[in-house]
Amino acid sequence: MALVAYAAFVVGWWKVNGLPLERLQVLGWVAGGLFIASVGRPDGGLVRIVRDWVPLAMILAAYDLTRGVADTLGMPVQREVLVRLERIVAWGRIPSVVAQERLGPYTGPVRWWEVGVSLVYLSHFIVPFVVMGALWIGDRPGFRRYRNALLALTAMGLLTYVLVPAAPPWMASRDGLIGPIRRVILRGMDPFGLDLGPMLVKYGPRFGNAVAALPSLHAGWSTLTALFFARRTRRRWWALLAAYPLAMSVALVISGEHYVLDVVLGGCYAAVAVGIEQAWYRRSVRRAAERARSATARVGPPVPAADRPG
């Protein structure tokens, strides 16, 4: 009953204030639900929540703050080179421009597929933390592995944003480098009456970085989620898992938020992050086994019951 009441409160808050676009805010909502769900459980409680989630919140807060200033460090913003690379990848075309030419105009009533585009895009701010919450309840080692892979991917993305600031398609269009693109990623939320404008105004100046486009962490996080659970599910479910990063990629390109190149690179970064996490996990397992063998060697082998005195 407490969880149902909490969920109703969260939905009501979102309805009044808009969907949360700050990671710390989403983490706070998830942590509140976990605390309620952990009441009475011997392995739950506030202490464990603080231990597992506060370091994650601090790291992601640092990421948001540094991401917001990454484009002020003097590195040149890449524009023309990305357009040239995108034309090579897409056989001479700019997929975002072609998609909007075929699907536009973006005026008048919102079409059904625009709702899907917006929902998929916004899931980036919700799904990873809900996944971590579910893993925290049912699979603590899995929670730690998913969290570590996500942080590795985020760190690699931040380093790239600092070293290679990159203009997204809508910005290149604004600068006249490619054909017309309208930034319409949130139009699909209009039928729900969700006013995301105030949240974007609040979120953008503090944490946003318009030239943090290469790689796409929207594509990267969704790909990482699919790769993580692919190891834990049967192959017949892999197509369903792959549908999420594929839908995210299509939404990003249609809306002009990312080039195909950004999306592909985001997926590659996700694969590398999963590989790093797996290597770290195997190393941890080996070290734990070595410590166990060392402890056994110091204590000596167990004495058979028949040989024990008395």
Measure the CA–CA gap between 139 and 136, rounded to whole angstroms: 6
Measure the CA–CA gap between 73 and 267, rounded to whole angstroms: 26
The answer to whether residue 302 scores a pLDDT higher than 70 is: no
Measure the CA–CA gap between 268 and 262, rounded to whole angstroms: 10
Q: Is residue 175 part of a domain?
A: yes
Which has the higher per-residue pLDDT, 87 or 74? 87
Q: How many residues does the chain have?
A: 310
Q: Give mean pLDDT, residues 261-267.
A: 94
Measure the CA–CA gap between 302 and 299, rounded to whole angstroms: 8
Tell me what pLDDT residue 140 has: 86
What tokens were used for 285? Answer: 């397992």
Identity of the highest mean pLDDT range in 106-110, 268-272, 278-282: 268-272
Q: Which helix (H) or strand (E) holds 85?
A: helix 80-89
User: Are the C-beta atoms of residues 266 and 223 closer than 8 Å to each other?
Assistant: yes
- Please name the residue that has the structure tokens 């990454």: 70
Measure the CA–CA gap between 202 and 61, rounded to whole angstroms: 15
Measure the CA–CA gap between 241 and 278, rounded to whole angstroms: 19
Measure the CA–CA gap between 206 and 277, rounded to whole angstroms: 30
The answer to whether residue 62 scores a pLDDT higher than 80 is: no
pLDDT digits (tens, 9 = 90+) for 85-140: 999 888 888 999 988 888 876 777 888 888 888 889 888 888 998 899 889 888 88
The answer to whether residue 65 scores a pLDDT higher than 90 is: no
For residue 306, the 8-state DSSP code is G
pLDDT digits (tens, 9 = 90+) for 156-168: 988 888 888 888 9
Measure the CA–CA gap between 3 and 200, rounded to whole angstroms: 29
Three-class SS state of 261: helix
For residue 17, give every residue at least 6 positions away whose Cβ sits within 8 Å of its Cβ, in sequence order, or none: 198, 199
Nearest CA to 147 out of 44, 18, 260, 277 is that of 277
pLDDT digits (tens, 9 = 90+) for 12-39: 877 776 666 667 777 778 888 888 877 7
Q: Is residue 233 part of a domain?
A: yes
Q: Give mean pLDDT, residues 174-192.
A: 81
pTM of the model: 0.83
Tell me what pLDDT residue 24 has: 73
- Please name the residue that has the structure tokens 């729900």: 192
Q: Is residue 297 part of a domain?
A: no
Tell me what pLDDT residue 42 has: 65
> Can you point out the beta strands (E) in the chain?
none
For residue 258, the 8-state DSSP code is S
pLDDT digits (tens, 9 = 90+) for 192-245: 666 555 455 445 445 456 777 889 999 999 999 999 999 888 888 899 999 999
Q: Is residue 99 part of a domain?
A: yes
Q: Is residue 303 part of a domain?
A: no
Q: Is residue 307 part of a domain?
A: no
Domain span including residue 268 = 2-286
Sign of CA dihedral 143, 148, 149, 150: positive
Q: Is residue 300 part of a domain?
A: no
Q: How many domains does the chain have?
A: 1
Q: Is residue 310 part of a domain?
A: no
Tell me what pLDDT residue 2 has: 82
Backbone phi, psi, residue 160, to 5°: -70, -40
Measure the CA–CA gap between 78 and 212, rounded to whole angstroms: 11
